[in-house]
Structure 1
Amino acid sequence: MKLDVNILRYLSKDDFRVLTAVEMGQKNHQIVPLPLIDSISGLKHGGAYKCLRELLKHKLVHHDGSRYDGYRLTYMGYDFLALRVLLNRGHICGVGRMIGMGKESDIYEVSNEEGEVFALKLHRLGRTSFKAVKSKRDYVGKRTSFSWLYLSRLAALKEFSFMQALWDNGFPVPQPIDHNRHAVLMTLVEGHTMVQVNKMANPGQVYLTCMELISRLASKGLIHCDFNEFNLLITEDEEITLIDFPQMVSVSHANAQDMFDRDVECIIKFFSKKIGYSPEMDPALPYVRPSLQDAVANLDEKLDVGLAASGFKKKHQEHLEAFLAQPREDRESSSSEGEGEDDDDEEEEC
């Protein structure tokens, strides 16, 4: 669905109070009962119901009366909660065209009052999960599912935290600006995804840059786990920028070697099949495949340890890994409409 930010003009403070009330109610409910929305929003004389009619008109909430009279957020409703915060913080003032769309995220061009253009990534883990609630398997302790709000917020928190750490350490990544809920604001990087490239002027140099980047990440205690042509941007000068970080893991992970090797083989496969460049046949390369052991031997700082202070905790990593480890079709059925993680996380500002 198109993100129509013009709707923001027609929404009142009370509308956002009710929208936030639905979000808070979804911590413990798939469908939030109307009396609970009334209670959380604090509006009197049927104010919540009036606002819900307005929100329904703009498809920011969905009504469900199958078991009782209740509501849940739509992704656009969640988008608007995040956008309003970024707007109030002065980071953005307008949303432009969509520049990227995946199964689990959408990316838009946004601008601020100075006319600077940024990229806004909206995480959408379990994008279609709210269309049908299927039987769910137990994959984390006693829990059978996590809400798409919670999973998407975790993905955004992790991406922002890792991107900030990598940027601070001089890695070629977009500069993170801010985040809220499932949204991450970052600088807009020139270039296009490497998957769109058929020819390179210096394929050997670009290949080596990729391998050095994989090794350098490991020397900081990290493995990307999705290092491929879809997550690498390349400019006309063949400079590389790495994107997409929610799946990153520590080199101390039980499957670290397999994940490291998979990242390496993905790049070899791309260059061999798409670019027509075979690294094994290039004698000018100092090496074809980097070694995880060598990279870890040069480990000078474990960024994954330091990231715990950013708010992305071990339990968050476990929840997100459990979800991302599933086949994509299973992801859609294991993220529920509600049943959010009702821990001691601070309430989001609205």
Structure 2
Amino acid sequence: MLIKDSEHEETVEEVFDRTTVMTIYKLMNAGVIGEFKGVVSAGKEARVYAATDSEGNPIAVKIFLTKTAEFRRGRMKYILGDPRFEGMRLADRNIVYAWAAKEYKNLKLAYEAGAYVPRPIKQEKNVLVMEFIGENFTPAPILKDLPRVTEYMFLQVLRQVRILYRRAGLVHADLSEYNIFYYKRKPILFDFGQAVLTSHPNAEAYLVRDISNVIQFFRERGVAVLDLDTALEYVKA
């Protein structure tokens, strides 16, 4: 169900500042964005809107807030140590732009490696455009909200973690039942801003945390799961 804009009137100015509006106009003029339909997700760091492109195809538009302290407080550890962002000026707005660029680049790596992720379409400043996962502008359910999960689903998710690690050279670094859609019998991983390259100094610790989160969720739902060491061995093999 769409979250109506009227329910978030207090955030409109925060989201659509002048620079963001100009960025959206640029994407509209290029045909990347056609029409906004409504908010589908509202967090401390970003809003995600259901929209269409210029041909009426459904897309998701993620707008990162440029006036939030959340990035500097909690996200710098995922940018520092990433060679793709060495030498970047770390003013607040630049951090947000870098975060949007990082999510786009991570999605591109994952998608091109064959992982189940939203297809990235375009990133401009703090605006990220990607494939919409769901039907009729309603997002697909996330793993947490499914009435039943199975051992097969657990193995499906673990395989995606393996594809990210082995083929894309990525670790999601914040994986849980809250950022995995289950759509058309497939787990689709999202929220890749914090994902790191496997060469990142903390990549192994993040990988252990990701797999532990997945194991814990399925185990608590009564599913037979692999132990952590066996799951890690599978992902890295």
Please report the TM-score for the alignment, with normalisation by the length of structure 2: 0.76
Separation in structure 1 between the aligned mates of residue 226 and residue 100 of structure 2, nearest angstrom:
38
Is contact 1:93-1:112 (8 Å) kept?
yes
1:166 to 2:110 alignment: yes
Structure 2 regions of 5+ residues with no counterpart?
Answer: 7-11, 71-79, 81-88, 135-139
Letter of the 1:196 counterpart = D
The superposition leaves residues 120-157 of structure 1 with CA deviations (integer Å, 9 ceiling, x where unpaired) of: 0112366367xxxxxxxxxx8xxxx9443212111111
Separation in structure 2 between the aligned mates of residue 216 and residue 151 of structure 1, nearest angstrom:
28
Q: Percent identity?
A: 22
- 1:277 is matched with which residue? 223
Q: Which has the higher contact order (CA 8 A, sep 6+)?
A: 1
Structure 1 regions of 5+ residues with no counterpart?
Answer: 5-58, 61-73, 130-139, 282-286, 299-350
* Structure with bigger gyration radius: 1
1:198 to 2:139 alignment: no
Separation in structure 1 between the aligned mates of residue 218 and residue 41 of structure 2, nearest angstrom:
23
- 1:176 is matched with which residue? 120
Runs of 4 or more off by more than 3 Å in structure 1?
Answer: 145-148
Cα RMSD, aligned residues only: 2.6
Please report the TM-score for the alignment, with normalisation by the length of structure 1: 0.53
Is contact 1:279-1:288 (8 Å) kept?
no
1:238 to 2:185 alignment: yes
- 1:226 is matched with which residue? 174
Q: Alignment partner of 2:128: what SS?
A: strand
Separation in structure 2 between the aligned mates of residue 164 and residue 85 of structure 1, nearest angstrom:
22
- 1:119 is matched with which residue? 60
In structure 2, do the counterparts of structure 1 residues 114 and 256 end up closer, same or farther at CA, with 3 Å as the change threshold?
A: closer
Is contact 1:211-1:290 (8 Å) kept?
no
Separation in structure 2 between the aligned mates of residue 194 and residue 232 of structure 1, nearest angstrom:
6
- 1:7 is matched with which residue? none
In structure 2, do the counterparts of structure 1 residues 109 and 212 end up closer, same or farther at CA, with 3 Å as the change threshold?
A: same
- Tell me the CA shift for residue 100 of structure 1: 1.0
The superposition leaves residues 59-91 of structure 1 with CA deviations (integer Å, 9 ceiling, x where unpaired) of: 86xxxxxxxxxxxxx542133122111111111
Separation in structure 2 between the aligned mates of residue 169 and residue 291 of structure 1, nearest angstrom:
20
In structure 2, do the counterparts of structure 1 residues 146 and 188 end up closer, same or farther at CA, with 3 Å as the change threshold?
A: same
- 1:208 is matched with which residue? 155
How many residues end up aligned between the 2 structures? 204
- 1:251 is matched with which residue? 198
1:188 to 2:136 alignment: no
Separation in structure 2 between the aligned mates of residue 107 and residue 75 of structure 1, nearest angstrom:
11
Separation in structure 1 between the aligned mates of residue 219 and residue 147 of structure 2, nearest angstrom:
11
- 2:16 is matched with which residue? 76
- Tell me the CA shift for residue 3 of structure 1: 6.3
